[in-house]
Amino acid sequence: MRTQVVIIGAGPSGLLLGQLLTRAGIDNVILEQRSADYVLGRIRAGVLEQGMVDLLAEAGADARLRELGLVHEGFSIGFGERSFRIDLKGLTAGKTVTVYGQTEVTADLMSARHEAGSEVIYAAEDVSPMDFDGGHPIVSFRKDGKGYEIRCDFIAGCDGFHGVCRRSVPSKALSLFERIYPFGWLGVLVDQPPAAHELVYANSERGFALCSMRSPKRSRYYVQVSASERAEDWSDDRFFDELRRRVPKDVADSVRAGAAIEKSIAPLRSFVAEPMRFGRLFLAGDAAHIVPPTGAKGLNLAASDIRYLFDALREHYRDGSDAGLEAYSKRALARVWKAERFSWWMTGLLHRFPESSGFDQRMQLAEFEYLCASRAASMSVAENYVGLPY
Ligand code: APR
Ligand code: PHB
């Protein structure tokens, strides 16, 4: 088999790149180790920056998003009983974010790919990117017990944090930067109207909490838990009781409990691998970097990587220029590190750290009060939350 670009991984990064390439007339094959149902079963964040919305439009996968996505002009930060609204629209000259689940983004991209007549090879085993240092990369894999090889011009490593692509790079060619936080987020999805019409992030004595949503009828809630906690030990009652104790009273009174459709604990991590290109292998999305979910940057960073990578590949095939491919890693990392900073900062502002002293807590309070009192400070939060320019 031969194609122009082999994409490894059919998460949002791989599907988005595949769809953009197909529409630009660039041949591509997507290899995914899991089944389509498994990929669609993963519940993840759901706040889209405008750049992501624009890319989905360019990929021809934005019809449901336009119909069902909720445009949000602000969000609130609770601090004990106090609350402060970040007026995203007012502070950024009109920018907003769109609340729309990543699971839906994935489903829309899958159907767009299907309609375009391109398929994903699911349940591909032992996927191995090879020879990407030279001019002729090959990707081998097994499917239904048979071995295959695809020759290609480029490999896009869109295979997430645990994928094979980053691991295929000689370790001396990689620099890794990491912070693991000593807590996780216990998340619950429930078919009940959201507690508030905008997202509420809360710092409380008992730890962080977040009230989010997927639609006017479906809510997504999180509470910070210690890293050793198990989701099975949290009944729905225990979860909602804890959530209500962590958010300002007016929000707590509006939280509608229900039977959890999904309940799981996600660890919090900051991670960056540098560089993001090795010869003809390009890493994008979670394969190259992870942010803690505070700030909702994970999916949006995957989108900016794909923006840069797609533009670079199109330039290569259409204009015969490799300038974009040469610049890819540097360009993507510049934006990645700014989102890492923002996610790390928001995590630090809103969580209880096990070792945190009275001094640290006073610092969080001072930071919150500065935010409430300074337009410059809240503008900084707003411009990062809606997404820095590409
Ligand atoms: N071979 C083939 N596919 C693989 C392999 C492999 N060896 N390893 C992993 N994959 C697949 C996974 O099964 C997954 O479907 O790669 C896909 C990677 O998808 P994601 O983890 O969703 O990563 P990405 O597409 O970059 O999306 C980034 O997802 O985790 C969130 O916060 C993150 O929102 C961000 C977004
Ligand atoms: C979510 O809705 O799942 C969500 C929203 C905002 C975040 C993280 C997660 O910062």
CATH classification at residue 286: 3.50.50.60
**Are the C-beta atoms of residues 260 and 239 closer than 8 Å to each other?**
yes
Residue 305 in any domain: the answer is yes
CA torsion, points 374, 379, 381, 386, in degrees to nearest 10? Answer: 160
Note down the domain range covering 324. Answer: 5-72+95-178+269-347
- My answer on whether 215 and 226 are in the same domain is yes
Q: 324 alpha carbon to ligand 1 midpoint, in Å? A: 24
Residue 256 in any domain: the answer is yes
Residue 47 has pLDDT above 90, yes or no: yes
Q: 17 pLDDT band (50/70/90 cuts)?
A: very high
Among candidates 96, 95, 107, 44, which has minimal Cα distance to 71? 96
Summarize the confidence of residues 77-87 as an average pLDDT.
Answer: 97
Summarize the confidence of residues 146-156 as an average pLDDT.
Answer: 98
Mean pLDDT of the chain: 97
Q: Whose CA is nearest to atom 15 of ligand 1?
A: 11
Q: Whose CA is nearest to atom 6 of ligand 2?
A: 296
Residue 192 in any domain: the answer is yes
Ligand at minimal distance from the CA of 99 is 2
Question: Ligand 2 within 6 A of 296 CB?
Answer: yes
- Residue 96, exposed/middle/buried by CB under 10 A (0-12, 13-18, 19+)? middle
Residue 160 in any domain: the answer is yes
Residue 361 in any domain: the answer is yes
Structural domain count of the chain:
2
- My answer on whether 161 and 139 are in the same domain is yes
- Per-residue HEC secondary structure of 158-221 comes to CCCCCCCCHHHCCHHHCEEEEEEEEEEEEEEEECCCCCCCCCEEEECCCCCEEEEEEECCEEEE
Residue 298 in any domain: the answer is yes
Q: Is 99 helix (H, G, I), strand (E, B) or coil?
A: strand
Summarize the confidence of residues 211-232 as an average pLDDT.
Answer: 96
- Domain of 196, CATH number, reads 3.30.9.10
Residue 119 has pLDDT above 90, yes or no: no
- My answer on whether 245 and 142 are in the same domain is no
**Are the C-beta atoms of residues 286 and 9 closer than 8 Å to each other?**
no
Question: Ligand 1 within 6 A of 292 CB?
Answer: no
- My answer on whether 319 and 223 are in the same domain is no
Question: Ligand 2 within 6 A of 224 CB?
Answer: no
Residue 43 has pLDDT above 90, yes or no: no
Summarize the confidence of residues 242-264 as an average pLDDT.
Answer: 97
Query: pLDDT of 278-314, one tens digit each?
Result: 999 999 999 999 999 999 999 999 999 999 999 999 9
Give pLDDT, residue 44. Answer: 85
Place of tokens 């997507």: 30
- My answer on whether 59 and 131 are in the same domain is yes
Query: pLDDT of 261-277, one tens digit each?
Result: 999 999 999 999 999 99
- My answer on whether 261 and 317 are in the same domain is no
Alpha carbon distance 104, 112 (integer Å):
12
Q: 214 alpha carbon to ligand 2 midpoint, in Å? A: 9
Residue 143: active-site member: no
Residue 83 in any domain: the answer is no
- My answer on whether 189 and 289 are in the same domain is no
- My answer on whether 33 and 117 are in the same domain is yes
Q: 156 alpha carbon to ligand 1 midpoint, in Å? A: 12
Residue 107 in any domain: the answer is yes
- My answer on whether 263 and 278 are in the same domain is no
Q: Catalytic residue among 137, 181, 194, 201, which?
A: 201
Summarize the confidence of residues 197-213 as an average pLDDT.
Answer: 98
- My answer on whether 236 and 293 are in the same domain is no
- My answer on whether 54 and 142 are in the same domain is yes
Residue 181: active-site member: no
- My answer on whether 262 and 274 are in the same domain is no
Percentage of residues in the chain having pLDDT higher than 70: 100
